[in-house]
Structure 1
Amino acid sequence: PYVCAEWEMGGLPWWLLKKKDVALRTLDPYYMERVGIFMKEVGKQLAPLQVDKGGNIIMVQVENEYGSYGTDKPYVSAVRDLVRESGFTDVPLFQCDWSSNFTNNALDDLIWTVNFGTGANIDQQFKKLKELRPETPLMCSEFWSGWFDHWGRKHETRPAKDMVQGIKDMLDRNISFSLYMTHGGTTFGHWGGANNPAYSAMCSSYDYDAPISEAGWTTEKYFLLRDLLKTYLPAGEALPEVPAALPVIEVPEFHFTKIAPLFSNLPDAKQSVDIQPMEQFNQGWGTILYRTTLPEAVTSGTTLKITEVHDWAQIYANGKLLARLDRRKGEFTTTLPALKKGTQLDILVEAMGRVNFDKSIHDRKGITDKVELLSGNQAKELKNWIVYNFPVDYSFIKNKNYKDTKILLTMPAYYRSSFKLDKVGDTFLDMSTWGKGMVWVNGHAMGRFWEIGPQQTLFIPGCWLKEGENEILVLDLKGPAKASIKGLKKPILDVLREKALETHRKDGEKLKLTGEKVAHEGAFTPGNGWQEVRFAAPARGRYFCLEALSPQANDNIAAVAEFDVLGADGKPVSREHWKIRYADSEETRSGNRTADKVFDLQESTFWMTVDNVPYPHQLVIDLSKVETVTGFRYLPRAEKEYPGMIKEYRVYVKSADFNY
Structure 2
Amino acid sequence: MKPFAFLTAAYTALLPISHAATFEVAGNQFHLDGQAFQIRAGEMHYPRIPRAEWANRVKMAKAMGLNTVSLYLFWNLHEERPGQFDFEGQKDFVAFIRECGSQGMKVIVRPGPYVCAEWELGGIPAWVMAEPGVKLRSTDRRYLEPAKAWMRNVAGMLEPLSVAKDGPVLMLQLENEFGSFASDPEYLRELEAALRGGGYTGLLFAGDGPGEETQRRGGLPGLLKAANFGKEAKPAFETLEKVQPGKPRFTAEFWIGWFDQWGRPHHRIDARQKSADLEWMMDEGVSFNLYMFHGGTTRGFWTGANWDGAYRPTTNSYDYSAPLDESGRPTPKYHIFREIISRRLGQETLPEVPALPSPGTIGPISLGEQLSFLKSLPAGETKEVPASMEQFGQGRGFVLYRAQIKGPVDAPLDLAQVQDRVIVLLDGKRIGLGGRSVGTTPVQITAGEGSHRLDLLVENMGRINFGPVMNSERKGLTGIVRLGDRELAAFEHISLPLDQPLAGDYEKAAGATEPGQLVLRRSKFKVATPQDTWLDLRGFGRGVVWLNGINLGRYWSIGPQQTIYVPSVWLRSGGEENELVVLELEKDDCPQEIPTLKEPVWSILPGK
TM beyond 0.5: yes
Task: Tell whether 2:109 aligns with 1:3.
Answer: no
What CA distance in whole angstroms lies between the structure 2 residues aligned with 1:170 and 1:290?
55
Is the Cα contact below 8 Å between 1:249 and 1:489 reproduced in 2? yes
Aligned partner of 1:483 among 592, 603, 608: 592
What CA distance in whole angstroms lies between the structure 2 residues aligned with 1:426 and 1:435?
24
Task: Tell whether 2:424 aligns with 1:315.
Answer: yes
What CA distance in whole angstroms lies between the structure 2 residues aligned with 1:351 and 1:212?
30
How far the C-alpha of 1:226 sits from its partner, in A, is 0.9
How far the C-alpha of 1:392 sits from its partner, in A, is 1.3
Q: Which residue type is aligned with residue 112 of structure 1?
A: K
Aligned to 2:85: none
Q: Deviations over 1:486-505 (max 9, x none)?
A: 3221111x1111523xxxxx
How far the C-alpha of 1:109 sits from its partner, in A, is 2.0
- Equivalence map 1:395-474=2 (5 Å): 397-409=501-513, 410=515, 411-467=517-573, 468=575, 469-474=577-582
Aligned partner of 1:367 among 472, 477, 494: 477
Task: Tell whether 2:385 aligns with 1:274.
Answer: yes
Q: Deviations over 1:414-437 (max 9, x none)?
A: 122122111223221222232222
How far the C-alpha of 1:241 sits from its partner, in A, is 0.8
Q: Deviations over 1:500-530 (max 9, x none)?
A: 3xxxxxxxxxxxxxxxxxxxxxxxxxxxxxx
Is the Cα contact below 8 Å between 2:174 and 2:188 reproduced in 1? yes
Aligned to 1:499: 607
Q: What is the identity percentage for the equivalent residue pairs of Structure 1 and Structure 2?
A: 37
Is the Cα contact below 8 Å between 2:377 and 2:502 reproduced in 1? no
- Equivalence map 1:223-622=2 (5 Å): 223-234=335-346, 236-295=347-406, 297-299=408-410, 302-337=411-446, 340=449, 342-362=451-471, 363-374=473-484, 379-394=485-500, 397-409=501-513, 410=515, 411-467=517-573, 468=575, 469-479=577-587, 481-492=590-601, 494-497=602-605, 499-500=607-608
Of residues 265-274 and 178-187 in structure 1, the stretch that sits farther from structure 2 once superposed is 265-274
What CA distance in whole angstroms lies between the structure 2 residues aligned with 1:472 and 1:455?
19
Aligned to 1:32: 144
How far the C-alpha of 1:247 sits from its partner, in A, is 4.7
What CA distance in whole angstroms lies between the structure 2 residues aligned with 1:89 and 1:287?
42
Task: Tell whether 2:197 aligns with 1:93.
Answer: no
Q: How many residues align?
A: 487
Q: Deviations over 1:64-112 (max 9, x none)?
A: 011122121110111111122222212x210011122121132112111
* Higher relative strand content: 1
SS in 1 for 2:234: helix
Aligned to 2:90: none
Task: Tell whether 2:258 aligns with 1:135.
Answer: no
SS in 2 for 1:401: coil
What CA distance in whole angstroms lies between the structure 2 residues aligned with 1:339 and 1:244?
66
Please identify the structure whose Cα radius of gyration is greater.
1
How far the C-alpha of 1:264 sits from its partner, in A, is 1.6
Q: Deviations over 1:225-261 (max 9, x none)?
A: 1111122102x22221111124523111121121111
What CA distance in whole angstroms lies between the structure 1 residues aligned with 2:277 and 2:465?
27
What CA distance in whole angstroms lies between the structure 2 residues aligned with 1:305 and 1:70?
35
Task: Tell whether 2:180 aligns with 1:68.
Answer: yes
Q: Which residue type is aligned with residue 321 of structure 1?
A: R
Aligned to 2:129: 17
What CA distance in whole angstroms lies between the structure 2 residues aligned with 1:332 and 1:296?
22
Is the Cα contact below 8 Å between 1:453 and 1:498 reproduced in 2? no
Q: Deviations over 1:577-605 (max 9, x none)?
A: xxxxxxxxxxxxxxxxxxxxxxxxxxxxx
C-alpha change, 1:88 and 1:332, in structure 2 (3 Å) is farther
SS in 1 for 2:363: strand
Aligned to 2:324: 212
What CA distance in whole angstroms lies between the structure 1 residues aligned with 2:407 and 2:580?
44
What CA distance in whole angstroms lies between the structure 2 residues aligned with 1:154 and 1:384?
42
How far the C-alpha of 1:309 sits from its partner, in A, is 2.0
What CA distance in whole angstroms lies between the structure 2 residues aligned with 1:398 and 1:385?
21
Q: Deviations over 1:458-512 (max 9, x none)?
A: 11121111212111122221245113123221111x1111523xxxxxxxxxxxx
Is the Cα contact below 8 Å between 1:351 and 1:366 reproduced in 2? yes
Q: Which residue type is aligned with residue 223 of structure 1?
A: H
Is the Cα contact below 8 Å between 1:309 and 1:332 reproduced in 2? no
How far the C-alpha of 1:295 sits from its partner, in A, is 4.8
What CA distance in whole angstroms lies between the structure 1 residues aligned with 2:417 and 2:275?
44
How far the C-alpha of 1:173 sits from its partner, in A, is 3.2
Is the Cα contact below 8 Å between 2:396 and 2:460 reproduced in 1? yes
SS in 1 for 2:480: strand
Aligned partner of 2:165 among 32, 53, 59: 53
Is the Cα contact below 8 Å between 1:113 and 1:139 reproduced in 2? yes
Q: Deviations over 1:528-555 (max 9, x none)?
A: xxxxxxxxxxxxxxxxxxxxxxxxxxxx
Q: Which residue type is aligned with residue 226 of structure 2?
A: T
Q: Which residue type is aligned with residue 319 of structure 1?
A: G
Q: Deviations over 1:259-311 (max 9, x none)?
A: 11112222102101111112223222222211222356434xx4321242211
SS in 2 for 1:76: helix
What CA distance in whole angstroms lies between the structure 1 residues aligned with 2:478 and 2:449?
27
Q: Deviations over 1:598-646 (max 9, x none)?
A: xxxxxxxxxxxxxxxxxxxxxxxxxxxxxxxxxxxxxxxxxxxxxxxxx
What CA distance in whole angstroms lies between the structure 1 residues aligned with 2:301 and 2:192?
30
Q: Deviations over 1:306-352 (max 9, x none)?
A: 24221111112333433212523433533444665633322111111
SS in 2 for 1:164: helix
What CA distance in whole angstroms lies between the structure 1 residues aligned with 2:544 and 2:592?
14
Is the Cα contact below 8 Å between 1:10 and 1:357 reproduced in 2? yes
What CA distance in whole angstroms lies between the structure 1 residues aligned with 2:499 and 2:434?
25
Q: Which residue type is aligned with residue 512 of structure 2?
A: L
How far the C-alpha of 1:128 sits from its partner, in A, is 2.9
Of residues 50-59 and 310-319 in structure 1, the stretch that sits farther from structure 2 once superposed is 310-319
Q: Deviations over 1:152-204 (max 9, x none)?
A: 11111212101111112223333221000011210011111111232111111
C-alpha change, 1:308 and 1:34, in structure 2 (3 Å) is same
Of residues 480-489 and 263-272 in structure 1, the stretch that sits farther from structure 2 once superposed is 480-489
Q: Which residue type is aligned with residue 404 of structure 1?
A: K
Q: Which residue type is aligned with residue 483 of structure 1?
A: Q
What CA distance in whole angstroms lies between the structure 2 residues aligned with 1:253 and 1:296?
46
What CA distance in whole angstroms lies between the structure 1 residues aligned with 2:159 and 2:360?
40
- Ranges in structure 2 where 5+ consecutive residues have no aligned partner: 1-112
- When normalised by structure 2's length, the TM-score is 0.76
- Ranges in structure 1 where 5+ consecutive residues have no aligned partner: 501-660
Q: Which residue type is aligned with residue 508 of structure 2?
A: D
